[in-house]
Structure 1
């Protein structure tokens, strides 16, 4: 198996925490097999370097550039990437800084999970390293830019390898769809109990709200306000999960005290699988957490918080695995969708449809792909 792996990934108030969290899921599995994992992260506002370190991984921090990415930007005939601003600098500067770190680490694999990086950064980083260049795994959701990857993972529903045909080398292996969803092993562990409970107890008693680790626009507060005037069971219990970096955390905590039902706020939970398994309904973002909810068959009302979540939301609705909420008409759509799910048969049907999509073994499949390609290189 590979012995050293480097991850280039960021979190911030704008980016959110999902990219780092799924990379940590992969790093945990690699570490369990004896790999030494290193993270390269820029110190954006809301970065998660301390969290990564508490999980047992080294973090090589890239300082935040106070002058912004425009100063000294490289000249390019190609259009700027849609998410270029997420990098906080130019791709060339980022590549130079990362290449110096990688020259010291000499990893067997480089994992890149960043919408602001493409083949130009990848080529610049991998060219000129002493010794053999690492193999490259790209984790993506957008299929909107070129890569020079050896392996590419896009875990989103409806995604097909064909979507990357003109974006990666012919030799690149593409892992597409939620069959490869990067979930922590506790979701697979709780799957059977979660599905069994839903089949025999389809009623709304526990509501779980999780709109990302950051929720910079306080959508959580909007949801709570809309919920407060809905007709819901008197014994309802609401749990709001937030990240420590969430800027509206104190405001939401104050707001929960005015709710008609018992409502609690929990921060940086380490038992999300259990909480999802015990919940009857979730209100959540249409991001990578969608696959955790599907694995546990948790019926969900989704909120699209970013453009890159629209495809996920559309695919889940098309598969009858979730319903969406319109933020522009939140009160009306929330009441409508709750009415749809008020019938026990509706909760059961949605749970079953969601569970079919994700079995919880995706991380192991990705690890097997990494291992098999590493063995091929040794032969």
Structure 2
């Protein structure tokens, strides 16, 4: 146990950003809290912020005020996600955390870079940056990038020379229940049957890719005896529409919202259809064969890496689902191929990443 350890997370969720950044920070915060740390989340007031969920997990939440958003079309990369300029965000964050200098400031935000981090340098003892893109400089003590295919050399010239790097799925931030259910999940995959399909397109799915997936699945005759479980976030704007679609499908299907035990659902599924975000590592940990759909441009490198490793099958972007999904599903109805994909996926991630990251932060061996 550590006494009086203070950790502040600067992270956002919204209908545009999605929920993945907040969810993986919650996983890290829970592991730190078990060690005795006090965690505070600093978040911008945005539609779909997940602030209520964060507070419900027992963490302090400090909301940054809404600001007049700049013209996002004139901003580079993901800068528009911030809904203000970086200088204003830095000043707002400093004002929120100046009363308690944290031991660690954890930043998980594609719109923030070395300029923001330098402005916050005197506000925390140490800085951990969580990134997936390797597309901008950082001033941090530790950089975490959990993506397959990433190497330390991708950050050459983007980090201080003495910054620690935690690179690859070995450090994927998964909740402990995934490691706990890993052995059982891998054991039940030896049959190679496909009886249950899990569809999960993220916590928001603002463009209703879930609906396109379900319509495509419903047209595959080989799946007539399968059961489909659809998982959606409470902030999804299409939850009601999907519930109606499920009732009209030929396939047996159900919708589950705000699922608390994804590890059990994944363990009991034979095939998953989803995006290559953080849930990709949950599926790998449990050896769950997957069809991957690119939901956003920043997911394509991860999708391609998993496809090359044979740990999942990429079926292109969301616009082509009706043409590609049926054939992709058919290719995985072969028990030999399904078992082989399960083995390759499981070899990439053991579910112990959060433990390794916490050990790094606490200076443990």
**How high is the TM-score relative to the length of structure 2?**
0.96
Q: Please state whether the residue corresponding to 1:220 is helix, strand or coil.
A: helix
Residues 1:221 and 2:211 are matched in the alignment:
yes
- Note the alpha carbon deviations across 1:199-232, whole angstroms, 9 max, x for none: 1x21111000000000000000011111111123
Picking from 38, 41, 62, the partner of 2:40 is 38
Cα shift at 1:328: 3.0
Picking from 289, 292, 296, the partner of 2:286 is 296
The separation in 1 between residues aligned to 2:241 and 2:66, in whole angstroms, is 28
1:325 corresponds to which residue?
Answer: 315
Q: Please state whether the residue corresponding to 1:105 is helix, strand or coil.
A: coil
The separation in 2 between residues aligned to 1:134 and 1:12, in whole angstroms, is 29
Aligned-residue CA RMSD in angstroms? 1.5
Is the contact made by 2:14 and 2:48 (CA closer than 8 Å) also made in structure 1? yes
Larger deviation, residues 327-336 vs 290-299: 327-336
The separation in 2 between residues aligned to 1:323 and 1:233, in whole angstroms, is 18
Picking from 301, 316, 331, the partner of 1:311 is 301
Picking from 243, 247, 260, the partner of 1:257 is 247
- Note the alpha carbon deviations across 1:101-129, whole angstroms, 9 max, x for none: 221121100000000000111111224x4
Cα shift at 1:267: 0.5
2:331 corresponds to which residue?
Answer: 340
Q: Please state whether the residue corresponding to 1:357 is helix, strand or coil.
A: coil
Count of aligned positions: 361
Is the contact made by 1:211 and 1:242 (CA closer than 8 Å) also made in structure 2? yes
- Structure 2 counterparts to residues 1-379 of structure 1, below 5 A: 1=2, 3-65=5-67, 67-69=68-70, 80-127=75-122, 129=123, 133-199=124-190, 201-326=191-316, 327-372=318-363
**How high is the TM-score relative to the length of structure 1?**
0.93
Is the contact made by 1:70 and 1:90 (CA closer than 8 Å) also made in structure 2? no
Q: Please state whether the residue corresponding to 1:198 is helix, strand or coil.
A: helix
Cα shift at 1:332: 2.6
The separation in 2 between residues aligned to 1:296 and 1:361, in whole angstroms, is 12
Cα shift at 1:235: 2.6
Is the contact made by 2:127 and 2:141 (CA closer than 8 Å) also made in structure 1? yes
Cα shift at 1:197: 0.2
| Unpaired segments ≥5 residues, structure 1 | 72-78
Cα shift at 1:69: 2.7
Q: Please state whether the residue corresponding to 1:232 is helix, strand or coil.
A: helix
1:76 corresponds to which residue?
Answer: none
- Note the alpha carbon deviations across 1:9-38, whole angstroms, 9 max, x for none: 000001000000000000000000000000
Is the contact made by 1:11 and 1:46 (CA closer than 8 Å) also made in structure 2? yes
The separation in 1 between residues aligned to 2:16 and 2:334, in whole angstroms, is 37
